[in-house]
Amino acid sequence: MKKNVKKILIALGFDERPEDVLGKAIEVADHIKAKIYILHVISELPKLDFYFDTYRLWEDFRESAVKESGEILNGYLSRYRTEYPDMEAIVEVGEPSAKVLEKADELDVDLIIMGHHVRKGLNHMLHLNTCEHVVRYSKRPVLSFHVED
What CATH number should be reported for the domain holding residue 27?
Answer: 3.40.50.620
> Measured between alpha carbons, how far is 123 from 43 in angstroms, rounded to an integer?
19
> Measured between alpha carbons, how far is 123 from 33 in angstroms, rounded to an integer?
38
pLDDT tens column, 28-55: 998 999 999 999 999 887 655 556 667 6
Residue 138 lies in a domain: yes
What DSSP state is assigned to residue 8? E
What is the chain's mean pLDDT, rounded? 85
pLDDT for the residue 105: 98
Q: How far is CA 107 from CA 29, 65, 100, 111, 143, in A?
A: 16, 23, 11, 11, 17
pLDDT band at 10 (very low <50, low <70, confident <90, very high): very high
51 alpha carbon, distance to own chain's centre: 30
pLDDT for the residue 49: 56
pLDDT for the residue 90: 97
pLDDT tens column, 77-118: 999 988 888 999 999 999 999 999 999 999 999 999 998 866
Residue 42 lies in a domain: yes
The conformational region for residue 69 under phi > 0 = left, psi -120 to 50 = alpha, else beta, is alpha
Residue 111 lies in a domain: yes
Quick one: what percent of the chain has pLDDT higher than 70?
81
> Measured between alpha carbons, how far is 18 from 120 in angstroms, rounded to an integer?
21
Q: How far is CA 48 from CA 45, 52, 54, 55, 93, in A?
A: 9, 9, 11, 9, 17
Asked if the model's pLDDT at residue 149 lies above 70, the reply is no
| Mean pLDDT on 56-67 | 84
pLDDT band at 142 (very low <50, low <70, confident <90, very high): very high
Q: Please say whether the beta carbons of 67 and 14 come within 8 A.
A: no
Residue 27 lies in a domain: yes
Q: Which domain holds residue 15?
A: 7-144
Residue 1 lies in a domain: no
Domain tally for the chain? 1
